[in-house]
Amino acid sequence: TLHQSATVFNASLSPKVHGEMAWTMLVSFISFTLVYLWMTIKRYQIETNIDEFDNLEVEAAIAERLREVDELVNSKTSSGTRESDPRDGGSIS
């Protein structure tokens, strides 16, 4: 046939690879496996950082909105026309 038969993983489990080539293949396999693991870990860290940043943005937006409500409630209270607090389920008009 045109294709070479198995040289490393063959049926008889006896590799037909020269020693130097076998070591080169082993070192390459280990190296690329380590590079893959490193890239996977870094990608996971990036995604974790993005999630944390998104959570901080949401918390900041909620805090800003609550400050706006407090300012609105305080302005209504100081003018003497305090109505129910929107955080309690009421509305301010």
Q: Is residue 84 part of a domain?
A: no
Mean pLDDT of 25-41: 97
Residue range of the domain that includes 62: 42-79
Model confidence at 8, pLDDT cuts 50, 70, 90, reads: confident
The CA distance from 25 to 48, in Å, is 34
* DSSP per residue, 32-88: HHHHHHHHHHHHHHHHHHHHHHHHHHHHHHHHHHHHHHHHHHHHHHHTT-----GGG
The CA distance from 49 to 86, in Å, is 34
Higher-confidence position of 74 and 90: 74
Mean pLDDT of 15-40: 92
Higher-confidence position of 76 and 91: 76
Residues 37-84: tens digit of each pLDDT: 999 999 999 999 999 999 999 999 999 999 998 888 888 877 765 556
Q: pLDDT value at position 16?
A: 82
Q: Is residue 93 part of a domain?
A: no
Q: Is residue 61 part of a domain?
A: yes
Q: pLDDT value at position 30?
A: 98
The CA distance from 22 to 90, in Å, is 76
Q: Are the beta carbons of 15 and 8 closer than 8 angstroms?
A: yes
Mean pLDDT of 12-33: 89
Q: Is residue 69 part of a domain?
A: yes
Domain count, the chain: 1
Q: Are the beta carbons of 76 and 92 closer than 8 angstroms?
A: yes
